[in-house]
Chain A
Amino acid sequence: MSNLNARLALRSLKRDLRAADVRALFVALMLAVAASTMIAFFLDRLDRGLERQASQMLGGDVVLEQRDPFSEDLRTQLEDAGFTLSDQVDLVSMISRGDRFQPASLKAVDDIYPHYGTSMVDLGEGTEQVASGPPAGEAWADPRLAQLIDIEIGDSVQVGQTELTISGIIEREADQSGGFGSFNPRLMLNTADLEATGLIQEGSRVEFEILAAGPPQALDAVQGLLNELRRDGVEVSDVRVDQPQLGNALERAESYLGLAGLAAVLLAGVAVAMSTRRYVERHLDTAALLRCFGASQHQLVVIFSIQLLGLALVASLLGAILGLAGQAALLWLLASFLPMTLPPPGIMPLGLGVLTAFAVLIGFAGPTLLRIKRVSALKVLRRELDPLPPAAWLVVSVASLVFGGLLWLYSGSLPLAMALLVGGAALLGVLWGISMLLLNGVLRGVQALSGKGPWSQALRLGGRQLGRRRQAGLGQLMAFSVTFFAMAMIVLVRGDLLNTWQDQLPDDTPNYFAINIQPSERDDFENVVSPRAEAQSELYPMVRGRVISINDQDPREAVRPDARGDNSLRRELNLTWQAEVPEGNEIVAGEWFADDEGADEQQGWMNEVDATAQAVPVPISVEDGLAERLGLTLGDQITFAVGSDEITTEITSLRSLNWDSFRPNFFVIFPPEVLESFGHSYITAFFLPEEEQSLINQLVRDFPGVSLLNVEAILGQVRDVLTQVTRAVELVLILVLLAGVSVLYAALTASRPVRAHESGLLRVFGAGETMISRIQGAEFALLGLASGLLGAALAELATAVLYLYLLDLAPRVHPELWLALPIGGALLIGVIGHGLSRSLRKQAPAASLGLLGEA
């Protein structure tokens, strides 16, 4: 029997493909799948790709770092878990060539280095990709070091007690993240030569690292071990936790893409609901006839379900292909900043897409489809015997539940899904009420038109027609306003995202950092740079200090257990002092240093710092991220070792700041004067336009001790990311707009027979084609106007919520929305609706009237 049902169902479906509602249904489902698979494919590959890139930047999937060599026992445990290990040793040492000395940051790597990626090294024949470190007996210097001590390939340098031959100039290290954490120039050597240098001795500043590479299962297996190591004070970097900062841009873009995908799915759902309604109405006669010929209710449900599921299957396959193509296009747009070897698309997103199609179908079409089951066989004799449409609350509830499920599936967060769902349901109720009021208002306004012209008459008549079908009109009004709302939101969010990104990195974002400016050089440096550079940041004094105790405890004991290996506790921090809150910083807790108030107290700790026996702690401001990581709050006391002195401080304010700002940023800021007596240098950042590049040569010549870091490349990379993400966002936007159009099409198709009947009646009563055309145009335009108003209100509300809670942007009012949506809505619905009804107006009245019956 089921074979037979399937045959019957598919045969009718084949014929049915010509019907407008089936096409609308098909397109809507296809778009839902295309949108969801495209975004799922893309995000899946991007996430996996980023993890790979993170591994490359970290140098492994797990990186362990500590002051002492690691035990064999630990190595065995890691290897047993499935990791390949590579050893690395970092230290700072003086290197020399002849009479030239230079402190350098030494990095000793073994023969396994690097686990991932390649280094860019000039081995004498131009820069090339090299997947190894220098062999024993040789070393690679970075260009800065080569310049500072004037070495070329083939020269020898003295490193500790041994001599190494420079065999390459290293432009970029395989595992170097974009930052510039080390201010000393780099020398890379082989671990085999370390012993000969004699630099590794008791008390010397050496960091031992294990770089471990392995599959995700290995990473899972050692989580317990890693936590233990963290508590023991080992700095543990885990690729899943310590992803490189590609900036907030990409994170926001991911949120945006997810959001846009859901908007497309929601719109497609609305389209599915509307076209199913028409589909069911059109098939009631068929169902009655089948009942008449002996089909059971169950059989009817099976037949029509098979039809719709068959439709959904084909639509989801096509949608998935579109989605695959779409994600390929997205990746192509983003190709230049993504890792070269992006993992291939997985099967998961495909399943997700098909699941989405069926969920949308069941959720948005299910209750409506069940109406077919209730059709009476008697309808073959008495046409008016239509089963009642399902209750609106049922349709909305089922659709909401399914959409909530999809939200859960996509967001992975049940509370978020629930909140959105409950909020959405409440919104829908309010929307229904407001729609009713709005529709009444608009209709009343139109009826009050006193003009005698043809347009006033058309508006009055169109308004009256709309008023007569208030329920259907309300449904359409809601569908259109949700559509406009979703479209507007996606456009708005895109615009504000782009603006925020552009504001974040204006054209004059600093492209050079100058560090190590001595106090004696400060004024001269400023005088040379200021006239030629733009957007120069202040010159921040910088003093190196080490945290030696927190609240009178060993720092490792005082902080959160998982932060014991934190970098800030193991290395010297750059401390600065400022009288004002630096640009781009914001106080989020406590208060900035008082100007005059407490001058006596200030005098108190000033004197005591000088006297070294300090009792009153110095107020400091700490970056909120660091405070959170270490578990520090206002009032906590931190003691720093600066030079040979100890300074006890108290956290009096926490600051938030943007690390992507390309300006000098500090974890800890002191009030003025406290640190001035200690040895310090200055740091600044500035933007140097292309035509002023000659200044750099002058600076290198006049201020040989000052290090200049060109961050143009990093800046360019971030800019590229923004540009490409923007393009990706635009591609997705198009998809959402298409989904919106599919709703319009479905809604207008659904109301076609009723309109046909009306225009037929009007023709019978003597209205000309022009008049009917105007009346229909007016009716659609009124509907569009009201929908636009409502859509604008919704979009304004929703974007504010989104900005605050999801995208982390400042909310703002969008006046242009309140103009564009109602007018655009009136025009769009007016023109599309009017156009789609053209064939109806051309029909003879008899045909139009018959259409209602013969559907």
Chain B
Amino acid sequence: MLHAERLTKSVTSGERTLTILHDLSLSVAAGESVAILGKSGAGKSTLLGLLAGLDTPTDGELNLFGHPLSRLDEDGRASLRAGRVGFVFQNFQLLPTLSALENVLLPLELSPRAGETDTAAQWLTRVGLGERQGHLPKQLSGGEQQRVAIARAFVSDPELVFADEPTGNLDPDTGAQIIDLLFELNHQAGTTLILVTHDHALARRCDRCLRLIDGRLDAFDPHTLASDTLESEEAKT
């Protein structure tokens, strides 16, 4: 499904070069759920961007759905994602001028399945917002907006879903509900899930956890540590 080999990402600012990701390798199998943990500024979002083909590595190879991303230009990578990759973002990223239903329809519109309004409506019902299809994002609470975003991530039956801090903007109770929903749908659809978070509890729900420290990935068992210990351990490094 996804295979990264010796990924490096550096940014140059003036004469200084800052390496964010360093010789990083990773393989994710179909149907697997992987959590990537790390403190703020560790480069989690950079890694997610690379894995999803939103950005290009400075060095290294990345294979997505069997296609080497380095050989594709930006448009090629975009068309690889179309209909096959779903996203859930920390700040929901709903289009403010589109209704809940229209937001869910958006990925379908960009795939050959355009106009499947029924499918979109069913997904809204599955996330518990069947009655609120016509509402605009600003008429929905944070939790409800994230539900719409989850419906949008799954509506095109993607093979792979990326989630970037999906509970980061939500209170703990709402966050817990969202996580339940995300994993339930993921489970039902058999989708591969790559989740970036610093929420230990969320990471624990995944099949596998990886920790991003100093630009490298380490395997990590979330069951062995409580969330606060993780934070303190990270603080030491």
On A, residues with C-beta under 8 Å from B are 3-4, 7-8, 11-12, 15-16, 18-19, 285-286, 289-299, 376-378, 380-382, 854
Contact = CB atoms under 8 A, between A and B. Distances in A.
Nearest to A15: B97
B148 to A, nearest CB: 13
Among A12, A286, A295, A297, which residue has the most Cβ atoms of chain B within 10 A? A295
B110 A12 contact: no
A289 B81 contact: no
Contact of A377 (B78, B83, B111, B164): B78
Nearest to A5: B109
B200 to A, nearest CB: 21
B82 interface: yes
B177 interface: no
B95 A289 contact: yes
The 7 closest A-B pairs by CB, nearest first: A294-B82, A15-B97, A377-B54, A296-B75, A294-B81, A4-B114, A378-B54
Contact of B97 (A8, A19, A295, A297): A19
A295 B110 contact: yes
Interface of B: 45, 48-49, 52-55, 74-75, 78-85, 87, 89, 91, 93, 95-99, 102, 106-107, 109-111, 114-115, 164
Given A7-B114, A289-B95, 16 more contacts: A7-B109, A292-B81, A293-B107, A294-B78, A294-B81, A294-B82, A294-B111, A296-B78, A376-B54, A376-B74, A377-B53, A377-B55, A377-B74, A378-B55, A380-B93, A381-B54
Contacts of B89: 380-381
A568 to B, nearest CB: 73
B114 A290 contact: no
A11 B101 CA distance: 12
Contacts of A3: 114
Contacts of B81: 292-294
A380 B109 CA distance: 19
A16 B83 CA distance: 25
Nearest to A293: B107
A380 B54 contact: yes
Contacts of A18: 97
Contacts of A290: 106, 110
A301 to B, nearest CB: 12
21 contacts: A12-B98, A15-B98, A16-B97, A18-B97, A19-B97, A286-B95, A289-B106, A290-B110, A291-B74, A293-B87, A293-B106, A294-B79, A294-B83, A294-B110, A294-B111, A295-B82, A296-B79, A376-B54, A377-B53, A378-B54, A381-B45
A381 B110 contact: no
Contacts, number: 91
A854 B98 CA distance: 14
Contacts of A292: 52, 54, 81, 87
Among A18, A291, A293, A377, which residue has the most Cβ atoms of chain B within 10 A? A293
A298 B75 contact: yes
Given A289-B95, A292-B54, A296-B78, A382 B45 contact: yes
A15 B98 CA distance: 6
A interface: dominant SS? helix
A286 B109 CA distance: 14
Among B89, B99, B106, B164, which residue has the most Cβ atoms of chain A within 10 A? B106
Given A4-B114, A299-B110, A378-B55, A291 B95 contact: no
B93 A285 contact: yes
Contacts of A376: 54-55, 74
A8 B109 contact: yes
A173 B220 CA distance: 107
Contacts of A16: 97
Contact of A291 (B48, B78, B107): B78
Contacts of B54: 291-292, 376-378, 380-381
B48 A381 contact: yes
Contacts of B91: 854
Contacts of A298: 75
A589 B107 CA distance: 79
A291 B53 CA distance: 11
Nearest to A299: B110
B154 to A, nearest CB: 13
Nearest to A14: B97
A378 B109 CA distance: 21
B82 A293 contact: yes
Nearest to B83: A294
Contacts of B98: 11-12, 15
A4 B109 contact: yes
A286 B96 CA distance: 9
Contacts of A286: 95
A297 B95 contact: no
Contacts of B110: 4, 8, 290, 293-295, 299
Nearest to A294: B82
Contacts of B96: 854
Contacts of A380: 54, 87, 89, 93
Nearest to B44: A381
A22 to B, nearest CB: 9
A756 to B, nearest CB: 15
A377 B110 CA distance: 15
B169 to A, nearest CB: 11
Nearest to A285: B93
A296 B54 CA distance: 12
Nearest to A374: B74
A844 to B, nearest CB: 15
A12 B98 CA distance: 7
A381 B196 CA distance: 12
Among B54, B85, B115, which residue has the most Cβ atoms of chain A within 10 A? B54
Contacts of B82: 293-295
B62 to A, nearest CB: 14
B190 to A, nearest CB: 21
A382 B111 CA distance: 25
Contacts of A289: 93, 95, 106
A396 B232 CA distance: 55
Contacts of B164: 381
Contacts of A296: 75, 78-79
A612 B96 CA distance: 99
A3 B115 CA distance: 11
A312 to B, nearest CB: 19
A854 B96 CA distance: 9
Nearest to B137: A854
A297 B80 CA distance: 14
A285 B79 CA distance: 19
Contacts of A381: 45, 48-49, 54, 89, 164
Contacts of B99: 15
B67 to A, nearest CB: 13
Contacts of A854: 91, 96
Contacts of B107: 293-294
A12 B49 contact: no
A289 B86 CA distance: 11
Among B97, B98, B99, B164, which residue has the most Cβ atoms of chain A within 10 A? B97
A376 B73 CA distance: 12
A18 B52 CA distance: 33
Nearest to A9: B109
A74 B72 CA distance: 78
Nearest to B48: A381
Contacts of A15: 97-99, 102
Contacts of B52: 292, 377
B137 to A, nearest CB: 10
Contacts of B48: 381
Given A294-B78, A297-B75, A299-B110, A12 B45 contact: no
A294 B159 CA distance: 14
Contacts of A297: 74-75
A292 B52 CA distance: 9
Contacts of B49: 378, 381-382
Nearest to A22: B97
Nearest to B75: A296
A295 B78 contact: yes
